[in-house]
Structure 1
Amino acid sequence: MDSFTIKTEKVKVLTVKLKHSKKQIQDLIIEKGISYISDVNGLLSEIIETKDPMITITIRKHLVEKLRPMFAMLHHLEGVLEPSVIPKQGGYQPKKPLTTSAKPTTSIKQGIKSESEPKGKNKLFSEESIVDNNDEEELDEEELKM
């Protein structure tokens, strides 16, 4: 009976080692796949910035939303840091925390025409901004870490 228990213990130890090895292999496969996704995200961001800076922020938000689960998994595996802030157009400074008493500072005066414009011609472009700055303020760091 003694040799039988020794062999059973060895089999149990080997089974635990096998499970641990399989888990490590799965983690490495996931980490490899996610690192490729992270590289693709960086390359896409660079391509977008060089082609059309006006749509960079919108595309970057979309990419962050789609790739957020992969970044969270990589962060869990301690591979890369999660993206915490989406930079505003024109700079890569970190976003300042919003205060509760902050009021929108931009206002567009409509209906006022400058005297230098001809009266009979319409404007070719509107003065409204293409990028919606309100969407950038709604994202906070806790939402990005989810």
Structure 2
Amino acid sequence: MRYPLSMDLQVTAAVMCVIIFLALIFMVWQSRREPQQKAVWLSLFSIGVAYMTALILMVISGRLMDEMPAQWDHPYKISCAVLALVFTVGALFLRVKPLKALLHLLPSLMAFTFAYFLALLPYSCDTMHMCL
């Protein structure tokens, strides 16, 4: 049995998306100031985009619970694909060396995994009859 997402959690997710969006703007600005650290800023940027995607998809799945299959509740795979896509396109655009890009992509996926579980805990406690 699943419950609809509360308004408090939706507002919290919206505020977090705004904060992440402002952080993404700062990362783009910072990467232009420090071009030697472009792989690090690209990693942080792709983690931010993936986290914002995960939050948006969690809110959408919480709002459309009756129309969606249960396996679409937690958009981890979609968010990881977005992270990899944003990182790959950014690495090609910024001309990051392939080995350096790979060495930054794998820790980015791990960092996103830990951050995703922090967002998943209040979401699952709010929409299910028991927490994770």
TM-score (norm 1): 0.34
Larger Rg: 1
Q: Which structure is higher in RCO with an 8 Å CA cutoff and minimum separation 6?
A: 2
TM-score (norm 2): 0.37
